[in-house]
């Protein structure tokens, strides 16, 4: 009887230790100081900007835009199927910076595989997956503009999920 109690106490102690270790692991895998700094810099008050109307878009044809200011070129896309970060009735409208996160070259859209491609050192980014890098020298994913659509079908940009290349703050 006494032995069983000791076994139970030991098991409880083991479980408490396991939970504490798990909590510690969660706390220590949050982000590096550089990531925290980049994220803090990206958290600014963004302007709301009308980019276009849904009626202006054609599936798989890029529309040149700029956000949050004229010096930050981007592309507005209707991809034809619901995607990550997509808005509108079909969940397929997305927008990205077209400045390559590696060294800022201007990228172009490939309708063939719905990617943005850099002529500088050939990094490639998947527009169907939130601008995820799929090849190349860049060390971060593409900055995606956060969109909303109002009752008139107007598409608005309201923020950005990554730091735009060359900026210490997305809003200057
Ligand atoms: Fe785009 Fe280097 S500038 S990969």
Using a cut of 0.90, tell me whether the model's pTM lies above it: no
Question: How many CB atoms lie under 10 A from the CB of residue 64?
Answer: 10
- Taking a C-beta distance cutoff of 8 angstroms, is the pair 146, 159 a contact? yes
Using DSSP, state whether 131 is helix, strand or coil: coil
Can you give the pLDDT at residue 26? 46
Nearest CA to ligand 1 atom 4: 121
Q: Is 121 a catalytic residue?
A: yes
pLDDT at 16 exceeding the cut of 70: no
Question: Residue 18 and residue 24: Cα distance in Å, rounded?
Answer: 10
pLDDT digit string, tens, across residues 32-57: 776 665 565 556 899 999 999 999 99
The ligand 1 atom nearest the CA atom of 121: 4
CA of 149 to the centre of ligand 1 (A): 32
Query: What would the two tokens of residue 11 be?
Result: 């098991």
Nearest CA to ligand 1 atom 3: 103
Nearest CA to ligand 1 atom 2: 121
- Taking a C-beta distance cutoff of 8 angstroms, is the pair 111, 118 a contact? no
Question: Which residues are CB-contacts of 84 (< 8 A; sequence separation ≥ 6)?
Answer: 94, 128, 129, 130
The ligand 1 atom nearest the CA atom of 100: 1
Q: What average pLDDT does the structure give for the chain? A: 86
The ligand 1 atom nearest the CA atom of 107: 1
């Amino acid at each position: 009887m006494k032995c069983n109690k000791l076994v139970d106490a030991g098991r409880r102690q083991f479980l408490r230790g396991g939970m504490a270790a798990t909590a510690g692991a969660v706390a220590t895998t949050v982000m590096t100081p550089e990531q925290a700094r980049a994220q803090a810099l990206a958290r600014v008050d963004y302007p709301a900007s009308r980019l276009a109307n849904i009626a202006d878009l054609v599936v798989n044809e890029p529309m040149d835009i700029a956000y949050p200011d004229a010096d930050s070129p981007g592309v507005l896309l209707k991809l034809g199927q619901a995607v990550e970060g997509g808005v509108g009735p079909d969940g397929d409208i997305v927008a990205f910076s077209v400045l390559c996160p590696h060294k800022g070259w201007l990228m172009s859209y490939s309708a063939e595989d719905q990617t943005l491609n850099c002529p500088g050192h050939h990094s490639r980014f998947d527009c169907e997956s939130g601008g995820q890098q799929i090849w190349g020298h860049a060390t971060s994913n593409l900055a995606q503009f956060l969109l909303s659509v109002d009752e008139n079908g107007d598409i608005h940009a309201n923020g950005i999920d990554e730091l735009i290349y060359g900026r210490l703050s997305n809003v200057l």
